[in-house]
Amino acid sequence: KQEVTQIPAALSVPEGENLVLNCSFTDSAIYNLQWFRQDPGKGLTSLLLIQSSQREQTSGRLNASLDKSSGRSTLYIAASQPGDSATYLCAVLNDYKLSFGAGTTVTVRA
Amino acid sequence: GAGVSQTPSNKVTEKGKYVELRCDPISGHTALYWYRQSLGQGPEFLIYFQGTGAADDSGLPNDRFFAVRPEGSVSTLKIQRTERGDSAVYLCDKAGPGYTFGSGTRLTVV
C-alpha cells in the first residue's frame, strides 16, 4: 500500500521568506505526482503536476521537483506572501487512484 | 471547485440515519472519484467510476457505503446506518486531463 508522508506538518514564516515543503512516498511505481492547495473549508486546487518521467515543474513562484527513484518531491515557494497561507497536499497516482499525504499547513506572517 | 458541484455542502444527521451525497461533474467525464477527508488528514480514496461502472471500490470502508453513477454523469454516495466515525468531508473529483475537485460535503453525524 502506498504511504505518503509530508514534513513538516506545520510551518510559520515571515513574509518574503522562501518555503520548502517535503513529500516522500514508499512505492516508486507512480504515474504522476501532484501538489494541491487547500484553504480552510474548501476543496482542493491543483498547483503543479509532475509526470513520472519529469524531474520538475514550475509555475510562477512555485517549483516542484521529483526524484522518483528515492521516493521524494519538494515544493518550493519563492518570496512567500500572506496569501500563500493554506494547507499544501502532496498526492501520487498509482493504480488509477491518488494517495495523499496529511499536508503541511503554512502560515505566512505579514 | 469549478466544474464539479457537490450537494449538500453541509449535512448534519443523527446516528443510524441514511444519507445521500451528490456529485455532478457538470461537463461530464468518464472517470469520477470519491474521497473522504477526516480532520487533519489528507483525502483517502473510496471508489472510482469509469462510465457507469465502479472500476475500483476497494476504498469503501464497509458495506454500509455504496455509490452509483447510473447514467455515467452524476454520482451519488449512499451511507446507511451512519455512525459518528463517518463524520468527514466527502470530496468528488473528475479526472482527465488533470484533476478537478468539488468543494465537498461536510458530513457530521451526531
What are B67-80's pLDDT values in tens digits? 999 988 999 999 99
What pLDDT, on the 0 to 100 scale, is given for residue B1?
A: 46
Grid cell in block for residue A18 = 522562501
Q: Out of A52-56, A73-77, A97-101, B28-32, which region has the weakest mean confidence (pLDDT)?
A: B28-32
Grid cell in block for residue B104 = 465537498
Would the pLDDT of A105 be above 90? yes
Confidence of residue B98 (pLDDT cuts 50, 70, 90): confident
Among the partner-chain residues B42, B56, B101, the one whose CB lies closest to the CB of A102 is B42
The DSSP letter of residue B28 is -
Work out the minimum CA distance from B40 to partner chain A, whole angstroms. Answer: 7
The DSSP letter of residue A53 is T
**Amino acid identity, position B65:** F
Among the partner-chain residues B44, B55, B101, the one whose CB lies closest to the CB of A96 is B55
| B88 membership: H or E segment, kind and range | strand B88-95
